[in-house]
Structures are given as C-alpha cells and as structure tokens.
Structure 1
Amino acid sequence: QEQEEENIPAQHFHFYDNREAIEQLMGKNSGLFLLIDQASRQQQDTQYMMEKLKQNTKSVHVKAMSYHEFTVAHYTGKITYDATEIVEKNRDFVPPEMINTMRLSSNNIIVQLFTNQLTKSGNLTIVLDGPKTAQKK
C-alpha cells in the first residue's frame, strides 16, 4: 500500500501460503514433529506414532499412508516418507529442560556447549565465533 501512495512501481505476485502445512508439521498440539518427540520420550515405536498420525483426520498436508509411510503435501507436490526407524533415530533428543539445566552449570565448557539458540523444534543451533576467512595453501 505504501508504494502505491508514493507512486513506486511494484509488481504483485502470487505465492503459495504454506502456513497450514507448517502448522501440521511443527504444531505444538498435534504436529508431526511433536508426535515423533512424544513417541521418543515415551519409549514408543514408529507404529505408535503412525497410529497417532492416523487419528488426526483433520490433517490435509500430513497423512499416514501405511504402517510405516506418511506423505507431506509440499508446495511442489506430495512426497512419501519412510518412517520405519524415525522414532528410534529421534531418541538422541535433549529435552529443553536439560539444556536449561546445563546452561546453569558452574563449568564454563558445559555452559558454552549449551548456550546456542534453540530452534522451534527444540534443537540447538550451531553458532561459529568470528568471520570465516579463506586460508592460503
């Protein structure tokens, strides 16, 4: 609107709104990533996670296809994922409560390991100190 008021030419374009798909993947109440994390924490298996996914009949973008496969409707099309060991592979998850506890440690090395930002899914991000420079050979 501001560009129109100031007579600045702007090209309007249509884009795919994927908020609903992101919510079905990362939603705090019933997102796919939440289901995987819950199954991991409760020592459940992939079948448990797939049953929970099947129960979520409102999901349009994420659907269980079989006992070990699910599809995600991306903006470019549907992709089928094999979830055979997805819960087991997710068990290396460090709970946010543990990360917060480690940040309170009196050991500076431990604090430094756990001071990076958390992503929305609760994973640590890696922040490298200083600019990267090319090295001479």
Structure 2
Amino acid sequence: MVDIMLLLNDYGYVSLFITSFLASTILPLGSEGLVILMVLGNFNIHTVVLVASVANFLGSCTSYYIGSTGRNLLISKYMRISDEQLKRAENCFRKYGTLSLLFTWLPGIGDAITVVAGLLRYKFINFAILVFVGKFFRYAAIAYFASHF
C-alpha cells in the first residue's frame, strides 16, 4: 500500500485524469477506485473531484464526436458498444430526452447514450452542460462517501 501511495504522490492527478478519461471512452475501466484511494490518501478532495469530472466529461465528448461522425467501426469494434446497447440508449434518449444525459455515468448504457447524442446530432452545448453536471455530481458523491467512512 505504501508503494502505491508513493506512486500516487508523484503521478496521482495525471493517473486520475487518464483513467477517468479512458473510463468514458474505449476501455472498460472504472475510475471510482482511484478516486476513493486518493480521497483516503488525503489528496485535496475538491481537486480530485474536478480532475475526475473534467477528464470523464472530455472522454464523453470524444464519444459524442465519434457518434456525430457516424464512425460505426469505432463504435462497434473499439468502444465495444453493441447494436442492442445503442438501441436501448436511443430509446432511453427519446423517452427521457435531455435528462438521460445526466445519467451518462451509468455502466453499460452511459457510453452508448453519449454516442447516441452524437448520432442524433444533439445540440452540443446542452450535451456538455448536462453531461458535466451528471459526471460532477457522481464524483462528488463518491468523494463525499469515501471521506465519511
């Protein structure tokens, strides 16, 4: 554990940024564990939440862009989002509209929602606000619970 904390002291925020970014793009990663470890390791909780939120948001913007360009090969092969997931996300997006963007942090369907928003050419400024708010509250909740247990 000590070696991990020494490594985090040197590369913690950079590692958090990269992990959080990739977690919302092409790799099935989770950044929650690193957020918790950093909060428990007495990193600045506000900085941890901000870095994770911005990085995860930027990853979602990448997925939106891929969807908006209609790059089906990238969507199916590299992002590993199935046609079924895309259909579920599109139904969710059509049923709940813009509010579904607040839940892009959900595993299994969140990445697909961002791709669908791009495929449907949803207005980017609205996309950006709702996705960032959702990601921010998610990481704030994780950090809050980690710091109080």
State the TM-score, normalized to the length of structure 1: 0.30
The structure with the largest strand share of the pair is 1
> Which gives a bigger RCO, structure 1 or 2 (Cα 8 Å, sep 6+)?
2
State the TM-score, normalized to the length of structure 2: 0.28
The structure with the largest helix share of the pair is 2
